[in-house]
Each structure stands twice: as C-alpha cells, then as structure tokens.
A and B are shown apart, each in its own frame.
Chain A
C-alpha cells in the first residue's frame, strides 16, 4: 500500500470526532468533513444519520460528489433548524477565525460596521453552538485563523456561553477542532484551546508557531493515529477514488535529505 497522506490522517481524525455520537444527524460542511463523517458511518458509527447536504437523508454512503442511491429521509432547510433546536445533531463547520476561547468567526474580518473583508455572514453558527455539538475543520492552520480574539463572534465558545447564562451554556458543546496539523479541543484552563494530538510528522512547536494565540499543552502530546488498512481502503477505493481530498490538504513538502 502506498504512503499514508496527511489528508488520510485528517479524514480519520474527523471520523473520530463523529465516532461517539450515536444516532444523531452528522452535519459536515465542506469536503474533508464530508469524507470523515462518511468514513465514521462506514466504520466506528454505523448509526450516524447523514444527508446529501441538500435535502435528503442518505440510506447508503455514496462517494464524494455522487448522488444518493437509497434515501432514508427528507431534511430540507426548515427541518434542519428544527433538528438544531431538537439537539440531535453534530455539525462540523469551517472557521475563518478561531480564538483562544474557542469562539469562531465566519461573518467578516474587521469592524462589523464596515468590514475590511465581508465573508458569508454568521449563518447558523450562533444557533448551532448553543443547541448542538459543534466541531470545526481548518484546512490551513495559521496565525490568521488562530487568533487572540475573533473579530465577530459567530460560533460561541464555552466561556462566552457560560457568561451568557444557563440557557446559552446548557447545550454548548464545542467538541473538536481538526486542522491540517493537529487536533484540538477547548478543554484547556478556563475553557481555552488545548492540543489533543499532532499529526504524524508535525511537532508541537510547529503547531504553536503556526498559531496566533496560546494553545494549552498538557504534558506529552500524542501523535494523531494513522488510519487503519480498512479505513485506507474505504477512503481510497470507495469514498474518494478521485483523490479530491488532496486538493484540500496537499501533501506537505518535506525537506530533501541528502
């Protein structure tokens, strides 16, 4: 079998984020999260409920970009918001910024009144983060993404949820942040970012240097596990035979060693 790529490691780390969810709606946003959630559905969590990202619950597990073969339900946007409030959902969103307290921003960069760069808008991030489990996927870990304080709090981290009162903190559950370098959570002191693992070939110092805010390190940081042979076959042969994942996470260039 050929070399395990960084994208393969990310897919397995994302699958692990959904492994313990049981029978809830897994809502991955974007390519790698979709691949990882489908991998979880085929391995660690066969009860996971997945959609086509449009309006259908998938009975089967199609490859990236393919249409649903068997349909097991209907989930148009109005029903998505019902499920958000119902709580049986785990969304993995993107993040233009994440701060030391696990707040996320997808709204705009700069002041809200006249942003330097307008992005999508807050979308469903405020509601997701106070209603159902939320994770984030960061394909390019950098000091522009990981910042002291996000410009516009879209997704709410645990500290702000706590400060906003019981109604906000009751269902706040920021689960994982998976990046192209590492896996983080928000279990550091005072609900701050914490390093859970670094991907094979990445050092703790590299992750810290690539972050614009402090990340708590608890003793020896483990290495993110590599995918099993079964997972590699599923990723390569079944879910992503066209290798789309490597467009989002290109293989890091290793220094030539003579």
Chain B
C-alpha cells in the first residue's frame, strides 16, 4: 500500500469551525483581487467576533466591519479599484466603529508579514520614517544600525512581525494536500500570509490531481507548498466579486451594486444583505446568477 501525504480537503463551514473569536486573521489577495470571499461570507454568517484583520483591504474589510466583526484592523489601504473608496470601510472609520486601527505603509505591511514568516521579532526598513504612520502607531519603534555608514549609523523603522493565527487565501488550483497554483498576473503575498500564520486555509476554484497542477502551468506557478497549508476547500467562484484571473474577472456590475448599497441608506444595505448574504454560499452564488440574468435584460 502506497503511503500518501494527508488529504486536507474540508468544507467552508469546517474551516470557519476552526476559527475562534478574538483571533488574528490574515486575508490574502489584494484589494478587489483574488480574495477568499467565500470564507469571508462564511465568517459573516458565523457568530465570530472581536477579530483582528490583517489585509490588503477590499470588500473583505467592508463586509466584516459593517457586520461589526472587527475589533482591530491592520491595513495599508482599502479600495475596490474601479470604486476607489470602499463605502462600508469609510462609514466604519467615520463613525468610529473599529476600536483599533493600524494603518501602515504598503512596504511595511509586506515587511511585517516577512518578519513573521521568518520568525523574527522585526525587520528594519526605511519606510515610515518621517510620516504620520509612526505618529499614529506609537507601538512601532525605530532601531539604530550597529554598522557605521559613511554618515554615521542609520536609524531605521523596526517593523514588528505581524504574526497571524490563521491565513485565508484563494488560489486557482490546488491538490488535496495543499499544493496550490495561481494562474493570474500576480501572486500577491499569499505565500507570506501562509508562512506568517499558525494555520493556513486555501480555497480554490478547482481541486485537481497533483500531476494536474503542472499539466498546463509552469512549475513557477506553484506558490504554496502543502507544508504551509492546513486545509483545502474547493469553492468555485469563491473569489466573487473580486478577480480570479484567468477563471473570471471582477464582477464590476455586482461591485457597483454592492458599493451603491453600502454607500446608501440603512434600508439599501438591509435589502442587499437580504438578497445576497442571508443564505449559505450556494444561495449566494444562485442570487449572483439571478442578478446577472436581471442585468442582461
């Protein structure tokens, strides 16, 4: 009998069952691009609360802050690209409903993940010096280089490690063991998220045989190794309404409807929630198909 690496396939609900209130959760992707939205929606349906989110923010931030799930938010931006300002996030910030906010420079955000991935307490960098990032985040310290440069030792930002309890990422393909490929333009930072986390859960468009991962994709597309991954879920259209190139692009019409509801009255938002977010993932996908049909008419 041949011994195989573990089968890590799970359901969305099983992943959410592994999460606890108060956890620090890193969400992969970038703004409105290749976000693990099926898991975000599942968190919305759960009774999880007091979460710390670490994310290149898009609608994941908007949805979870609007639902009051977030105690602390760590980000460098929140944007939907074609809708530059995320209305739910704006609303949360302007009404002060996120108890703790850590706004970082984008490079600092990457460096914080990298420090955690390398099990270091911090990594030095230039970004942040002179800006209000250091004023608004007094917990972030500087460190003096032990090496004397030509103009004396440099005082740099000591970007603290952003250690995650859990990372959630969405990939194009994965095998049942957790090896996974991205087939779009950009890996984003999904490997760093997984390595910065105690446990990482990968949703994907399709689970294929290990050999299938490199049938029509170069081996460099294999971003995640199973040693970084605790669980794998097949969730077709699981990144909707963000991009999952080349499987699908962003659903701009849906995003527009989302942004209009988020920026509208309480009744507008309640109607959007009722229509799209009141059921499970299958109900969501059915409602999205119905929405696309309506839009065609």
Query: Which A positions have Cβ atoms within 8 angstroms of B?
Result: 54-56, 76-78, 81, 84-85, 107-108, 112-127, 129-131, 152-156, 160-161, 163-168, 170-172
Q: With a CB–CB cut-off of 8 A, which chain A residues contact B122?
A: none
Interchain CB contact under 8 A, B128 and A127:
yes
In the complex, identify which listed stretch (B84-92, B201-209, B233-241) lies at the interface while the others stay far away: B84-92
Interchain CB contact under 8 A, A126 and B131:
yes
Interchain CB contact under 8 A, A167 and B85:
no
Interchain CB contact under 8 A, B187 and A122:
no
- Whether B246 sits at the interface, judged by CB under 8 Å, is no
Interchain CB contact under 8 A, B132 and A127:
no
Known contacts: A117-B94, A121-B77, A168-B126. The answer to whether A153 contacts B132 by CB under 8 A is yes
Known contacts: A78-B110, A113-B96. The answer to whether A123 contacts B125 by CB under 8 A is no
CA A119 – CA B38 in complex, angstroms? 27
Report A79 CB to chain B, min CB distance, Å: 9
Interchain CB contact under 8 A, A76 and B185:
yes
15 new A-B contacts at CB < 8 Å, known A153-B130, A171-B126: A77-B186, A77-B188, A115-B93, A117-B94, A118-B89, A118-B94, A121-B75, A121-B76, A126-B129, A126-B133, A127-B108, A131-B126, A165-B154, A166-B154, A167-B156
Shortest Cβ distance from A172 into B: residue: B130
Mind listing 28 A-B residue pairs with CB under 8 Å? A55-B185, A76-B185, A76-B186, A81-B107, A85-B125, A112-B136, A118-B90, A120-B84, A121-B78, A121-B79, A122-B77, A122-B105, A122-B131, A122-B132, A123-B77, A123-B106, A126-B108, A127-B105, A127-B108, A127-B128, A129-B130, A129-B131, A131-B127, A154-B131, A156-B130, A156-B131, A163-B130, A172-B130
Q: With a CB–CB cut-off of 8 A, which chain B residues contact A127?
A: 105-108, 125-128
Report B182 CB to chain A, min CB distance, Å: 10
CA A203 – CA B94 in complex, angstroms? 39
How many B residues face the partner with a CB closer than 8 A? 44
Q: With a CB–CB cut-off of 8 A, which chain A residues contact B126?
A: 85, 127, 130-131, 167-168, 171
Interface members, chain B 31-71 (any A CB < 8 Å): 57
Shortest Cβ distance from B91 into A: residue: A118
Report B56 CB to chain A, min CB distance, Å: 8
Interchain CB contact under 8 A, B93 and A81:
no
Interface centre among A120, A127, A131, A153 (most CB of B within 10 A): A127
Picked from A55, A107, A119, A130, the residue with its CB within 8 Å of the CB of B130 is A130
- Whether B294 sits at the interface, judged by CB under 8 Å, is no
Report A54 CB to chain B, min CB distance, Å: 6
Interchain CB contact under 8 A, B103 and A122:
yes
Report B163 CB to chain A, min CB distance, Å: 20
Interchain CB contact under 8 A, B85 and A119:
yes
CA A76 – CA B152 in complex, angstroms? 35
Q: With a CB–CB cut-off of 8 A, which chain A residues contact B151?
A: 166, 170
Shortest Cβ distance from B75 into A: residue: A121
Q: With a CB–CB cut-off of 8 A, which chain B residues contact A54?
A: 185-186
Interface centre among A81, A119, A121, A160 (most CB of B within 10 A): A121
- Whether B258 sits at the interface, judged by CB under 8 Å, is no
Interchain CB contact under 8 A, A81 and B96:
no
Q: With a CB–CB cut-off of 8 A, which chain A residues contact B30?
A: 77
Q: With a CB–CB cut-off of 8 A, which chain B residues contact A119?
A: 85
Report B134 CB to chain A, min CB distance, Å: 8
Report A114 CB to chain B, min CB distance, Å: 4
Picked from A117, A130, A155, the residue with its CB within 8 Å of the CB of B90 is A117
CA A153 – CA B128 in complex, angstroms? 10
Interchain CB contact under 8 A, A122 and B76:
yes
CA A122 – CA B107 in complex, angstroms? 11
CA A85 – CA B111 in complex, angstroms? 12
